[in-house]
Structure 1
Amino acid sequence: MRRLLLWFKQDLRLDDHPAVSAAVDADEVLPLFVFDPTQLAVGALGSRKLGVHRTRFLLESLAALDGELHQRGSGLLVVFGRAEEVVPLLVERFALQEVLTLEEIAPDERQQMAALRGALGHVPLRELAGNHMLRPDELPCSLEELPQVYTQFRELVEQRVPVFQPVSAPTRMPSLPSGSQELFTALPSLSQLGLGEPVGVANSAFPFSGGETAAQARLRDYIWRSQAVRQYKDTRNGLIGSEYSSKFSPWLANGCLSPRRVAAELRRHESMYGRNDSTHGLWLEMLWRDFFRWTLVRHGSALFRAGGLKATERAPDTVDQRFEQWTQGRTGMPLIDANMRELAATGYMSNRGRQIVASYLVHDLRQDWRHGAAWFEEHLLDYDPASNWGNWAYLAGIGSDPRHQQVFNTLRQARQYDPDGSYVSLWLPELRSVAPQLRHTPFLLPHLQLDAMGYPRLQEIPETWKPYLPSAA
């Protein structure tokens, strides 16, 4: 009799899951998720790995996966602790002969896999292909030869367009090991985890739930029903609403959605309706995600250092009250504050917003980029180590790209992407009474008027903002 442990991590789905596919012909399988409570503690950079929004999304995704497993004659065991301690105990208790899971790419997770392998002794730990879109044999060259610049990576990949054939979820799962049912308990609430319950926000750009069912529904809606993917290029820099972008990223980050499934559906859509700049644009974003993942595999812990991948570059290492003002949405620059308050309230922020607030923290406030990346790690629903830290390093000018720092003129960005101040007024209620042409520059208002609103005054107006100030100023 073949008995297995199926260890889920950031791969909370059954569709196109290599470890699930490898487990379906076993006699007994124990599906497991290990919740490490240390992720709720404050780390060295002052933030937690799991904040309230990420934890909510995770719990929803676990509940959805448990439901999918129950429909197939199984269930999901959620245990608190460290995997290298929990897994060997379960393997011994139920005489399990092998542990199946997906491979990891980040240094800490790889260390944990090595520790678990040692703790398992003679019981094999089998790692199957992870959450990349491109598998190792689909890369255009060896990992060591892979270009360190995205445009070169993209050009090489597109010379030989890969064919994606994702494997559908099984209709049945093997039965649970005898006696394991007594270990199953209800998932904890956010309050029980010490996080409190977040208040629902009507303005959220991500009004969706975690889990594979919600992910598949969004995939169908965006690519097939509304076909909003065909306008992606025109809307992707939006700031308000759920439809300016695909919103796939939280489900991709938690593994509720397979990147290969997204690519396959996108290709199928293009075969039926034709390729345009927008469908190709979404493909390029999926490639960006893979580029950062393979960059992390190649460089490991170097991506998380102060100097990033360019040890010769000097990035700011200051952390003072300006960082706290940035996290609280109290800098005095409305576009920055609106984005940061949206993140705190909902766990989401637009791609355009992320670039602007990151550039502002590093280049205008001269703060340590790693603290910004860690703040994003705690709060973003779609936190992914490769994309998050890779993008921050890129904007700080210490990534692998040969270009220098990516510096945004914040007021110019505000005028271009929120011309009437509607986004700012959505998240900064204290500025709603201000005339639209002044919502991005409340620092020009009389002191008494601004103080009465309770909004902080910007202390210094950069010289580069002068062309974008109101003409009467």
Structure 2
Amino acid sequence: MGTGLIWFENNLRIKDNKALAEACKNHDRAIAIYCFDPRKFEITKYGFPKTGKFRAKFLIESIIQLQENLENLNISLLTFQKKPEEIIPEIAENHKIEAIYFQEEWTSEESKVIEAVKNKLPNTEFRSFYTQFLFHPDDIPYNDFSVIPKVYTEFRKKCEKQVEVRKEIEIPQQKPDSNLLKNTSEIPNLDQLGFEEFQQDSRTAFPFKGGEDEAWKRIQQYFWDTKKLSEYKQTRNGLLGKDYSSKLSAWLANGSISAVSIYHEIKKFEKEITKNEDTYWLIFELIWRDFFKYISLKHGNSIFKLGGILNKELDWNFDKTNLKNWINSETKEDFVNANMKEIAATGFMSNRGRQNVNSYWAKELKQDWRAGAAYFESVLIDYDVHSNWGNWMYNSGVGNDPRDRKFNIKSQADRYDPNNEYQNTWLQH
């Protein structure tokens, strides 16, 4: 039975985690590893770090909690501020690892890292699992990813009709005490990752911490204590406060909770409290998230290219002053400025805000949409590679929007912030 290694990446949970469950089932001993890969904190060509301070802090909190939760199962989580291909082979050798278990990834940077680790360990078995979906790739009604439809509605309707969401995978049984290693590795703090400590802005709509327990606390609060889920569709275009939407995206993004777990909790709520259009709408949004993942599986690196998945030749510009003004909230649109102030101060922005600032950057200023997407990648707490780049393509006219809409920022502000409450919150400080 030997020793199995669980390599954690964006699946930072013990509940509904196939890689963890399989490693525990197949081996007498199991150890876990997480790498704070220095490449994720490097400065990009646009001049900001790939992972900024907000997500870095949320990640540290998530890893601290994962380490504690694994320790309760008598599994040690070793953490390193190193590239996976540098440290995993060393760990594998020292602990006579027979197999490595991890979450399947397919975007280019992640794939390169996985390949680099595999190349260093030709005699080790690697077992990966698709665990970031609501609808598992083996269950969807498409023979291969190349036939995934271009339009969300078609994908959603077919999957809703034909796919049953899988059951959650239970938390594995506790390993014997002897399984715990003397863990001398350290979880880095913000300073060690290159950031200064900071205080949370009191105006934030996302006053939450990272980690699996925190994700479940939020579900308890949003579903069961306040029952806000029962009005989600009506409030989801809100701009202020923590309860206008579920705010589950950040935990979903780093895998502190799974889409499958959230789905089953919604179903439980529908059975015990109420079932309406609002409760369904959160499932609708989970399917959108899946759709963008399938789009990136279908199109590969096209999601990072200027022409997007449509390979569209549009007249794009790139001007550093424009980028600076957009980031620093110095555009001619107050509604855009307020949203850009919020994201800069908190690492969060409403869905409504994201669509507007994206549309302004790409459709009004006609600036290279990828610079905007890269800025979001840096600052967002809930950055998810597929949703971020998928949404940016969509709102920039090179993705999955069949109507290629352009937002009228003024009328959007009038509609969603009629009393200027949101704009005043962010522009008068």
TM-score (norm 2): 0.96
Equivalent residue for 2:348?
Answer: 348
Equivalent residue for 2:410?
Answer: 411
Decide which structure has the larger Cα Rg and report it. Answer: 1
- Residues 347, 379 of structure 1: 8 Å contact kept: yes
Q: Equivalences for 1:161-172 in 2 at 5 Å?
A: 161-172=163-174
192-201 or 57-66: bigger deviation: 192-201
Q: Deviations over 1:141-180 (max 9, x none)?
A: 22222212101101111222514310122241466768x5
Q: Deviations over 1:362-392 (max 9, x none)?
A: 1122211000000000000110010000000
Asked whether 1:181 is paired with 2:177, we answer no
Equivalent residue for 1:421?
Answer: 420
Distance in 1, Cα, partners of 2:61 & 2:119: 32
Distance in 1, Cα, partners of 2:289 & 2:9: 19
Equivalent residue for 2:34?
Answer: 33
Distance in 2, Cα, partners of 1:407 & 1:163: 35
1:12 aligned counterpart, secondary structure: coil
Equivalent residue for 2:49?
Answer: 48
- Residues 134, 165 of structure 2: 8 Å contact kept: no
Distance in 1, Cα, partners of 2:68 & 2:153: 41
Asked whether 1:69 is paired with 2:70, we answer yes
Distance in 1, Cα, partners of 2:127 & 2:167: 22
Equivalent residue for 1:129?
Answer: 130
Where structure 2 has 5 or more consecutive residues not aligned to the other structure, the ranges are none
2:310 aligned counterpart, secondary structure: coil
- Residues 19, 101 of structure 2: 8 Å contact kept: yes
Give 1:315 shift: 5.1
1:337 aligned counterpart, secondary structure: helix
Amino acid at match of 1:47: F
Equivalent residue for 2:388?
Answer: 388
Q: Deviations over 1:87-129 (max 9, x none)?
A: 1111011111111111013121112212221211111111122
* Structure 1 outlier segments of 4+, above 3 Å: 173-178
Equivalent residue for 2:61?
Answer: 60
Equivalent residue for 1:453?
Answer: none
222-231 or 5-14: bigger deviation: 222-231
Distance in 2, Cα, partners of 1:286 & 1:129: 16
Asked whether 1:246 is paired with 2:249, we answer no
Asked whether 1:294 is paired with 2:274, we answer no
Give 1:182 shift: 4.8
379-388 or 121-130: bigger deviation: 121-130
331-340 or 159-168: bigger deviation: 159-168
- Residues 99, 125 of structure 1: 8 Å contact kept: yes
Amino acid at match of 1:12: L
Q: Figure out how many residues of one structure are paired with residues of the other and give that number.
A: 427
TM-score (norm 1): 0.87
Tell me: CA distance 1:272–1:137, structure 2 relative to 1, closer, same or farther (3 Å). same
Distance in 1, Cα, partners of 2:165 & 2:300: 28
Q: Deviations over 1:171-215 (max 9, x none)?
A: 41466768x525323x22212322101222111101110000000
Tell me: CA distance 1:402–1:313, structure 2 relative to 1, closer, same or farther (3 Å). farther
Equivalent residue for 1:99?
Answer: 100
Asked whether 1:14 is paired with 2:14, we answer yes
Q: Equivalences for 1:284-363 in 2 at 5 Å?
A: 284-314=284-314, 316-363=316-363
188-197 or 169-178: bigger deviation: 169-178
Distance in 1, Cα, partners of 2:71 & 2:5: 16
1:231 aligned counterpart, secondary structure: helix
- Residues 7, 32 of structure 1: 8 Å contact kept: yes
